[in-house]
Amino acid sequence: MLSTVIAIAEQVRTGQRKAVEVAEESLRAIDTLDHELHAFLAVAAEPMIQQARLVDQARERGEPLGLLAGVPVAIKDAICTRGLVSTAGSKILSGYVPPYDATVITKLRAAGAVFPGKTNMDEFAMGSSNENSAYGPARNPWDCARVPGGSSGGSAVAVAARMAPAALGSDTGGSIRQPASLTGTVGVKPTYGRVSRFGLIAFASSLDQIGPFATDVRGAARVLSVIAGKDPRDATSLDVPVDDYEAACGKSIRGLRIGVPEEYFAQGLDPEVEASVRAAIASLEDDGCVVKPVKLPHTRYAVATYYVLATAEASSNLARFDGVRYGLRVREAHDDLRAMYGKTRDAGFGAEVKRRILLGTFVLSAGYYDAYYLKAQRVRTLLRRDFEAAFGDVDAICSPTSPTPAWKLGEKMADPLAMYLSDVYTLPASLAGIAAMSVPCAPTRGGLPVGLQIMAPALRESTCFSLAAAWEARLPTQLPPLGFER
């Protein structure tokens, strides 16, 4: 079984293990497990081995190795990788191979990471269960009849099943934190602008943010330290110093003030999830934190606000997929440009993507722009002010990540609103642009993972890591039952 990010990097650096051996172990795990879990849409076996050989050769030459030397990092299929197919889980990009790397990929390569492949996801990151993937859903390794969450479900599954100790996902409204919660992994949504979005296939540009999954908190901290920072190719990336996130994992939490929002412990919250999360908060209090109630009164508007703003941005961003420049083209319509656009988009986009494009086009249309889009922007400001007021009294806010454990495949597909509500606790932090992460709590009686969400002010990821590491130290490591006898 693959070890943690920190352990692998240290073993490779000191010569205890060769990077090629680690890569081969990752590929064996994928070969053993992924026929059932479907975490990967593309496996890059030969490129991964070649990357690992370069790491081993650098060490043999006595060259200093990067922070992630030899560490397998799986990559969400919405992140462009040079020479490796990147489809965003959609038929409209079937077979598309980018000619360039996303900035985060460039940084991972420089740090010595190796890439086992591209992970499954809801099409264009639009979904909360991974069931909207054009290539079939990933499955939760804790129970293969259940969803892993979405949209970064494949990345979460790859880490939960130890096919890789870390992975990259993207989080627009909870797409890292929610699958992390449902699969018992650590998932981090950095502050908006903390990590470059260059090379991320866009869903909603004012919300999208790349972040890491890992088997443990310190591993996630190290990956974030590598990918964070200013990028001149992304005008929204922030030109501020990157904190030492690993050092934050060992920092005392005594005296930190934790807010508990009553709005996140309301109707619809599974009783076992509530009990597990409250127990984690009580443990942090035992470690010296000061726990106090806070109010986030506009939380109840977050779902409606998100699905106006995100769909509006999606309708604009997805206009580029028209069959002209790249991706799918319906050939029988090539003599008529308008027909080619329509038939290509109809064949290439799935039902959920079409639903969101239509909704986004509607809220931006003449006569409805003020009533919906501008009003949603104003409510977003109110949500942000809620957090600003709360963070005037506390250092962090703790809540459930997801209102329920993982549900059965197909259970919510016929009811889009029920699916949208599964992100009710993650959406507000995305709309506010603050730092947030999910770390495992004690599981339910049935053995399903539960996530504790930790939110902190913008650029205070270190606070999240300090609290998460302190809680993790009290919780035994949890492994799914699938495949660990190999």
- Catalytic residue positions, numbered: 76, 151, 175
Structure tokens at 481: 């039952």
Which residue, among 222, 251, 193, has the nearest Cα to 111 in the 3D structure?
222
Number of other residues whose CB lies within 10 A of the CB of residue 74: 30
Output the DSSP codes for 262-319: GGGSSTT--HHHHHHHHHHHHHHHHTTPEEEEE--GGGGGHHHHHHHHHHHHHHHHGG
Largest CA distance in the chain: 70
* E strands, 164-281, in order: 166-171, 186-189, 209-214, 257-261
Burial class (CB in 10 A: 0-12, 13-18, 19+), 12: buried
Output the DSSP codes for 77-136: TTB-BTTB---TT-GGGTT---SS--HHHHHHHHTT-B--EEE--SGGG--SSSTT-TT-
Which residue, among 307, 320, 318, has the nearest Cα to 350 in the 3D structure?
318
> Please, are residues 419 and 127 in contact by the beta-carbon 8 Å criterion?
yes
- Amino acid, single-letter form, for residue 408: K
Distances in Å between the alpha carbon of 240 and those of 230, 353, 466, 477? 7, 35, 20, 34
Mapping DSSP to helix (H, G, I), strand (E, B) and coil, where does residue 375 land?
helix
> Please, are residues 268 and 403 in contact by the beta-carbon 8 Å criterion?
yes
- The dihedral built from the CA positions of residue 135, 420, 176 and 163, taken in this order, carries a sign that is negative
Structure tokens at 454: 């930790």
